[in-house]
Chains A and B, each alone.
Chain A
């Protein structure tokens, strides 16, 4: 797992590609994971050392910690009789600094909203029309 973390900007372009890939394929999954980043290869923070006396040592760190975001697709194998092809797994990851979290998630929401286009659309209008029709018919 020696891959580099992407910058936030790169991550968003790659994530858009991942969703686009999913759309052109017509099926498949996109996985998104987020978790606290507790160790950093560049600057090892001494903030998160386990304190033996305090069982809740990790609930109140001194400094805000970055969040690790990962995105991936599902690997698929060629299958006879279907249109499935061999697809390699694409894995992306980025680190969000505590200061950037709010702006990151606003962009993240936009990226996901546009990416997850196959989910059911709002069909409130249809329902209303039907109700009117019902009344007319009655």
Chain B
């Protein structure tokens, strides 16, 4: 059950898995808000105290932005692509709210693959891109570039994935 480091990597791997096993693969995303436990609060308070004490020792005037409240909730968003037949499981976890739009966008593109529709045409995805901030457009550009050679190699990709699953 590996956690992939980047959302792009997660998307590419999931896309390959979907191509190999389109009927059995499912994508589950989980949004969790957790209240910290008593011990976690203590730990955070301890850490905050430590951080507060540090700058005085090193005579540094600036410290990292003020620590959040120790009783703050932790929220995570986890994406999981799972194929029960081969047992392949790909995961990606984030805590950043800014990523949600992009991630749902890639869920949409994977949804198209599930529906056995051709990959998104530029005209269709253009209005979506317009709404997203500039750095995202770059990333999406990357994704599209990476997506282009995939259909040609779909057959071989599928074969590879299946072998992996059998192990």
Chain A contact residues, CB within 8 Å of chain B: 22, 26-36, 38, 48, 56, 58-61, 63-67, 96, 98, 101-102, 104-106, 108-109, 112-113, 115-123, 126-127, 130, 133-134, 137
With A67-B111, A130-B65 already in contact, the answer to whether A106 and B128 are too (CB < 8 A) is yes
Q: How many residues of B contact A (CB 8 A)?
A: 47
Q: List residues of chain A with CB within 8 A of the CB of B30.
A: 29-32
Contact between chains at B27 and A64 (CB < 8 Å): no
Chain B contact residues, CB within 8 Å of chain A: 19-23, 25-35, 61-62, 64-65, 73, 75-77, 94-98, 100-101, 104-105, 107-108, 110-112, 114-117, 120, 124, 128, 154, 158
- A128 to chain B minimum Cβ distance, whole angstroms, is 11
A-B contact pairs, 29 of them (CB 8 A): A22-B31, A26-B73, A27-B33, A27-B34, A34-B27, A34-B110, A34-B114, A35-B114, A36-B25, A59-B20, A59-B158, A61-B116, A64-B117, A67-B111, A96-B115, A101-B111, A101-B117, A102-B108, A105-B104, A108-B104, A112-B100, A116-B100, A117-B97, A119-B31, A119-B97, A121-B98, A122-B97, A130-B62, A137-B62
Q: Binding site of A, secondary structure by majority: helix, strand, loop or mixed? A: mixed
Task: Give Cα distance in the complex from A64 to B111, angstroms.
Answer: 11
- Number of contacts between A and B (CB, 8 Å)? 147
Q: A27-B34, A119-B77, A120-B96 are in contact. List 11 more A-B contacts (CB 8 A).
A: A31-B29, A31-B31, A36-B25, A38-B23, A59-B22, A61-B116, A104-B108, A118-B73, A119-B97, A119-B100, A122-B97
Contact between chains at A96 and B108 (CB < 8 Å): no
Chain B residue nearest to A123 (CB atoms) is B65
Contact between chains at B32 and A109 (CB < 8 Å): no
